Structure 1
Amino acid sequence: MPRMSPSPAIVYAREATIDVADFRRVLVDSGLGAIRPVDDTPRLQSMLDHANLIVTARRDHAQGELIGVARCFTDFSWSCYLSELAVSPSAQGLGIGKGLLDETRRQLGPTVSLILASVPEAVGFYERAGMARIDEAFWYKRER
């Protein structure tokens, strides 16, 4: 069920999937397009198809313009990895990113940890949102 933000112009909702062109546009507009495969539509579609929690922010109503997206992978029991948190520049500074985090956490419930890897430019945002840094994180970097 869609949830209205404190600002009645923004609707947050869990969606089974979103249009790949809208996803691409938000990634590009937000700046994440520089580090995402935005010119590989089948790969973007696969990213959407295999996510099991997509939370959106839309302008005006549940079918309105997509202005923010949180794309996640979770077991809904223990942990959730937030792969993208992207907000269109026209909506940045309005609390949309925090609203997406809050709605994602609401969807997950209090027993699930939310984990992410931040781009350097967004570290301050996540700290202001109340997320704690973790030092004991490891990864195998993708080859392409």
Structure 2
Amino acid sequence: MNIRNIEDKVLLINQLNYRGNKINIYLTTNKNINLYALEKLCDSVGWVRRPFKKVKIAIEHSFLIISLFHIKDNSNILIGFARATSDHAFNATIWDVVVHPDFQGKGLGKILMDQIIQQLKYADITTITLFADPQVIMFYKNLGFLADPDGIKGMFWYPH
């Protein structure tokens, strides 16, 4: 893996083989996300759509944003995304981890998670949590996350 700074982005993977072409994958922590590109990425994995206004607020209030993209025809193509909220002292929760299906199975999800965890540890966050759907639990376990050893489930309140 070849990593070097390019303005506000980092060249994360040099010359990834994608559909017979070699592309570069970049990482950024810039919160200025194209919401349409994010919605398209989330659509690609079948997530339920959320109102842009609320997504924008969630991003603005996140402690950390990490995006993965490649450049095609001078445009950034969003292929991965994750964010974390935090109390800025002890705890953080990772949300909205998504990698475009065309790029799954290439190690980008692991890289995305490694980067967000590294940034949280650098900020001296000592407890990192997340919520995982059943089909991705093993992915997170392979990254070192543990299911609650006491079997206690998270509790949620939803408006009626």
Question: Which bracket does the TM-score occupy, shorter chain normalised?
Answer: 0.7 to 0.9
Q: In the alignment, does 2:118 pair up with 1:106?
A: yes
Greater alpha carbon shift after TM alignment, 73-82 vs 2-11: 2-11
Contact 1:17–1:54 (CA<8 Å) still a contact in 2?
no
Q: CA–CA distance in 2 between the matches of 1:50 and 1:128?
A: 29
Change in Cα spacing, 1:122 to 1:6, as seen in structure 2 (3 Å) is same
**Aligned 1:23-34 pairs, distance under 5 A:** 23-31=38-46, 33-34=47-48
Q: Report the alpha carbon displacement of residue 139 of structure 1 after superposing the two structures with TM.
A: 1.9
SS in 2 for 1:65: strand
Greater alpha carbon shift after TM alignment, 85-94 vs 72-81: 72-81
Q: How many residues align?
A: 139
**Structure 1 residue aligned with 2:81:** 69
More relative contact order in 1 or in 2 (CA 8 Å, sep 6+)? Answer: 1
Q: Report the alpha carbon displacement of residue 96 of structure 1 after superposing the two structures with TM.
A: 1.1
- Which TM-score applies when normalising by structure 2? 0.75
Identity of aligned residues (%): 20
Q: CA–CA distance in 2 between the matches of 1:21 and 1:51?
A: 18
Q: Which has the higher Rg, Structure 1 or Structure 2?
A: 2
**Aligned 1:75-94 pairs, distance under 5 A:** 75-94=87-106
Q: CA–CA distance in 2 between the matches of 1:60 and 1:45?
A: 23
- Which TM-score applies when normalising by structure 1? 0.82
List gaps (5 residues or longer) in structure 1. Answer: none
Greater helix fraction, Structure 1 or Structure 2: 1
Greater strand fraction, Structure 1 or Structure 2: 2
Q: CA–CA distance in 2 between the matches of 1:96 and 1:77?
A: 28
Greater alpha carbon shift after TM alignment, 10-19 vs 81-90: 10-19
Contact 2:31–2:59 (CA<8 Å) still a contact in 1?
no
- Equivalent position amino acid for 1:53 in 2: L
Contact 1:12–1:103 (CA<8 Å) still a contact in 2?
no
List gaps (5 residues or longer) in structure 2. Answer: 1-7, 16-23
Q: Which of the residues 103, 127, 133 maps onto 1:119?
A: 133
Q: Report the alpha carbon displacement of residue 141 of structure 1 after superposing the two structures with TM.
A: 3.7
Q: CA–CA distance in 2 between the matches of 1:71 and 1:52?
A: 8
Q: CA–CA distance in 2 between the matches of 1:15 and 1:89?
A: 23
Q: Runs of 4+ in structure 1 displaced over 4 angstroms? A: none
Q: Which of the residues 22, 25, 43 maps onto 2:54?
A: 43
Deviation by residue 1:21-60 (Cα, 9 ceiling, x = unmatched): 11111111123x13xxx15222222222222211111124
Change in Cα spacing, 1:74 to 1:89, as seen in structure 2 (3 Å) is same
SS in 1 for 2:29: strand
